[in-house]
Amino acid sequence: MKKMTVVFDNDALYTTVKVEAARRNQPVKKLVCQALTEWLEAQEDAELLSEIEAARAEWQQKGGVEASEFFASLKAEAKADAL
C-alpha cells in the first residue's frame, strides 16, 4: 500500500467529499481511489474511442458491410451451393 497526501484548495469540494464518504459509510481514501480509478478508465475509453472511430471510417471507406449482412450472404451462398 502506498500513501499520498491530497490537499484540497477548495473547501466546498473537501466538505462534499467528506459528506459523500460518510453517506456511503466508507473511508474517504476508498472514495478517492474509486473516483481516480473511474477517471483513469474513462481516459482509456476516450483514447480507444478515437481508434474505434478511425477503424469505422476506414471500414466505411473500403465498403464494409454489417456483420449480419455478411453472415446472411454466406448463408445464402451455402444454400445456393447445396442446390
pLDDT in tens, 33-73: 999 999 999 999 888 888 888 888 888 888 888 888 888 88
8 Å CB contact between 31 and 20: yes
Dist. CA 30–CA 42, nearest whole Å: 18
pLDDT at 83 over 80: no
State the chain's mean pLDDT as an integer.
90
What is the pTM for the complete model shown? 0.57
Q: Residue 11's pLDDT is what?
A: 96
Q: Hey, what's the cell of 11? A: 473547501
CA distances from 33 to 12, 26, 37 (A): 19, 12, 6
